[in-house]
Structure 1
Amino acid sequence: MEVIISASRLAHDLTADRPPVLLDVRWQLSVPGANGATAFDGRAAYAAGHLPGAVFVDLDVELAAAPGEHGRHPLPDLAEFGAAMRRAGVSADRPVVVYDGGQGWAAARAWWLLRWTGHPDVRVLDGGLSAWEGPLSADVPEPAEGDFEPVPRPAGLLDAAGAAALARSGVLLDARAGERYRGDVEPIDRVGGHIPGAVSAPTSENVGPDGRFRPADELTARFAALGVSAATQVGVYCGSGVSAAHQALALAVAGIPAELYVGSWSEWSADPSRPVAVGPDPQ
């Protein structure tokens, strides 16, 4: 099953009698107090121009529950998630393509949630909106109600205990920047560092200079160097379960299934009783 789609292929598919449902999930990580900058407004970016027919999906509202003890982007209520997807026109028998501004994190979060809850055909626009060469639209579509009913798979999701155990029995990849993994800096969460046993694997290394995913063979080699193969039990986490979805997507491009710890470091580090490792080594 393909998990990413090129802009040229998407342009072709949109001319079909039954084109894919398009979801615009533009979002950026907001770091409190960073240079006095205001938070990114994905809805305003969508209103200024989006792929024709695309429906805006708010990551913070529709792809996550409110921040709390389970992290900054915990799983959404699945009934509410399903209702949001149906409003966007998502049906079980129709392909879905998700995109964001180009970083790929938010689109990957939507991809992961839809796949984990049973949608059979979801792809991410490789390179995001930045890769699109066609026209944009400011028109807000009113899609027909979809019929998608989310049914979570029994596998694919980790909690804190599961992540800790997998770090010992398999490979747990930390998708954050290296300086946060090492604990050199921590701009968001209570403390810096990583889950003991986790391996540093920044998502920035999944893509080339153009923001598109590296070829599958390059990703396979990258993950092999980190101790990962198709036979390895793999888990991924990040700060709050968003960029880790991008890591899961990169692994899927390489043909490697992975489990996602949605609570990620924001949940793990909030509990002072949980161990924290610092420095460049996993332990």
Structure 2
Amino acid sequence: MKAIISASELAGDLAGPHPPTLLDVRWQMSVATAAGAPPFDGRAAHAAGHIPGAVFVDLDADLAGPPGPSGRHPLPDVEHFGAAMRAAGVRSDRPVVVYDGGQGWAAARAWWMLRWTGHPEVRVLDGGLAAWDGPSASGTEEPAPGDFRPVPGALPLLDADGAAALARTGLLLDARAAERYRGEVEPIDPVGGHIPGAVSAPTAGNVTGTGRFLPASELADRFRALGAEEGTEVGVYCGSGVSAAHQVLALTLAGIPAALYVGSWSEWSGDSGRPVAVGPDPQ
């Protein structure tokens, strides 16, 4: 099963007799910006222009629970998630395509949530909205209600203890920027550094300059060089479980199954009892 779709393929599918359910998951990570800069409003961006038929899904409200001890983007309540997906028109027997503004992180989080809860066919628009050169629609869509009922467990999931163990026995990849891994800067979470034993693997290394994924063979080479040998158990974390979903998607394209630590560094660093490593060395 393919996990990504090109803009031209999507255009063909949308024009066909059985178009996919299309979800717009535009989102921007909240970090300190220039004083007075307004926060990104994905819903407003969607209303101003989107791929025809796409329904907006709010990452913070629909694809994550409230921030707290379990991290900035913990798993949402499954019933709430299911209701949000049904309201967006998601059906169990109909393919789903998700896209964001082009970075791919938010779309990958939606892809992972739907796949983890059992939807059989979900793809991410490669390159996001920036890759789309077809028609645009404004306003909001009113889809027919869907019937998707989420059943968690279809993809592997890690908690903090599982991530710590995997860093010792397998391969735990840190998808954040390298300077955050090394602990040189930390713009969001309480402390900089990484989970002891984790290997730095910034998400930016998965894509080209246009935001499209590297070919599967190049992704496979990248992850093998990082230690993803055959038979090695692989897990991924990031700041809050969003960009790490993009890394899991890239690993999937490379043919490498991987578990997601959703709580990620925002959960780990919030617990003063957990060890922190700094510098370029995993340990």
Report if TM-score (shorter chain) is over 0.5.
yes
The one-letter code sitting in structure 2 at the alignment partner of 1:252 is T
Equivalences, count: 282
Kindly provide the CA deviation profile for residues 190-235 of structure 1, in whole angstroms up to 9, marking residues without a partner as x: 0000000000000000001111000000000000000013422100
The one-letter code sitting in structure 1 at the alignment partner of 2:203 is T
**CA distance in structure 1 between the partners assigned to 2:85 and 2:229 by the alignment:** 33
**CA distance in structure 1 between the partners assigned to 2:154 and 2:85 by the alignment:** 21
Evaluate the alpha carbon distance shift between residue 180 and residue 261 of structure 1 in structure 2; reply closer, same or farther with a 3 A threshold. Answer: same
TM-score, with normalisation over the residues of structure 2? Answer: 0.98
**CA distance in structure 2 between the partners assigned to 1:234 and 1:94 by the alignment:** 30
2:239 corresponds to 1:239 = yes
DSSP-derived class of the 2:260 partner: strand
Report what 1:183 is aligned to: 183
Unpaired runs of at least 5, structure 1? none
Report what 1:12 is aligned to: 12
Report what 1:269 is aligned to: 269
Report what 2:227 is aligned to: 227
RMSD (Å) for aligned C-alpha atoms: 0.9
Report what 1:35 is aligned to: 34
Query: Following superposition of structure 1 onto structure 2, how do residues 122-271 of structure 1 map, counting pairs within 5 Å?
Result: 122-153=122-153, 156-271=156-271
Unpaired runs of at least 5, structure 2? none
TM-superposed deviation, 1:154:
6.0
| Conserved 8 A contact 1:127-1:210 | yes
Report what 2:117 is aligned to: 117
TM-score, with normalisation over the residues of structure 1? Answer: 0.98
The one-letter code sitting in structure 2 at the alignment partner of 1:73 is H
**CA distance in structure 2 between the partners assigned to 1:129 and 1:107 by the alignment:** 11
Identity %: 74
TM-superposed deviation, 1:16:
1.4
DSSP-derived class of the 2:97 partner: strand
Query: Following superposition of structure 1 onto structure 2, how do residues 18-57 of structure 1 map, counting pairs within 5 Å?
Result: 18-32=18-32, 34-36=33-35, 37-57=37-57
DSSP-derived class of the 2:144 partner: coil
Runs of 4+ residues deviating >4 angstroms? none
- Of residues 49-58 and 150-159 in structure 1, the stretch that sits farther from structure 2 once superposed is 150-159
DSSP-derived class of the 1:107 partner: helix
DSSP-derived class of the 1:17 partner: coil
TM-superposed deviation, 1:139:
3.6
**CA distance in structure 1 between the partners assigned to 2:144 and 2:154 by the alignment:** 30
**CA distance in structure 2 between the partners assigned to 1:169 and 1:227 by the alignment:** 12
**CA distance in structure 2 between the partners assigned to 1:13 and 1:178 by the alignment:** 38
Report what 1:64 is aligned to: 64
TM-superposed deviation, 1:38:
2.2
Kindly provide the CA deviation profile for residues 76-122 of structure 1, in whole angstroms up to 9, marking residues without a partner as x: 00000000000101011100000000000000000000000000000
